[in-house]
Amino acid sequence: MESLMKIQALVIAAILVTFAGAAAGWSARARTTPADPTTTMAKPAATVADKTMVYYFYSTARCASCLKIEQYTTEAVKSAFAASLKDGTMQWAMVNTDEKANAHYVKDYGLYTKSVVLVRVRDGRQIGFKVLDKVWEHLNDKAAFIKYVQDETRAFVAAR
């Protein structure tokens, strides 16, 4: 009997969490800020078979923290890797995982929130990736955030 009560309590809690999440999502959508289309990098003139992709995965509903991750990551990548971006050995892209064509990335990279992901491409095929989970830990310190993204990206590129 006691275990039945625990199960009922868990079911009720799950329902409440679902409703709260739906309400928060609806509320967030009401104040959604679309991505700035100018922040996505244009494709390089020639396709480079070996490169590092730097992705920022986000959803349609975006809060101030999500926008800050986008801004800081853009700055980190463009300021430290301008030459690689120009020659095509690195690409910077923002991807909305709520779009049907991009939904697979959530499973591919084990995403559970807005995320920065480094992807290694060799001979045109993905051979490795790293999720930069600590961007959330550095969100309130811009210098630490940028240093973290740049250091992790340098290490990832060097490990080819």
Residues 57 and 74 in one domain: yes
Residues 51 and 90 in one domain: yes
Residues 75 and 99 in one domain: yes
Its domain, for residue 7, covers 1-31
Q: Taking the model in full, what pTM does it have?
A: 0.71
Residues 16 and 83 in one domain: no
Out of 18-22, 84-88, 89-93, 138-142, which region has the weakest mean confidence (pLDDT)?
18-22
Residues 66 and 114 in one domain: yes
The reported pLDDT for the residue numbered 5 is: 58
Residues 19 and 60 in one domain: no
Residues 4 and 46 in one domain: no
Integer CA distances (angstroms), 103 to 75, 95, 99, 107, in order:
26, 10, 6, 8
The reported pLDDT for the residue numbered 139 is: 95
- Contacts of residue 128, defined as CB under 8 A and 6 or more positions apart, other chains included, come to 119, 120
How big is the CA angle at 40 (ends 59 and 104), to the nearest 5 degrees?
A: 40
Residues 73 and 110 in one domain: yes
Residues 67 and 16 in one domain: no
- Overall average pLDDT of the 133-142 stretch: 96
- Give tens-digit pLDDT for 19-71: 444 444 433 433 334 444 444 444 444 467 899 999 999 999 999 999 999 99
Residues 52 and 122 in one domain: yes
User: End-to-end CA distance of the chain, in Å?
Assistant: 58
Q: Which residues pair with 53 in a beta bridge?
A: 91, 119
Consecutive H or E run containing 2: helix 2-30
- Give tens-digit pLDDT for 94-121: 999 999 999 999 999 999 999 999 999 9
Residues 11 and 50 in one domain: no
Residues 46 and 10 in one domain: no
How many domains would you assign to the chain?
A: 2
What CATH code is carried by the domain that includes residue 76?
3.40.30.10
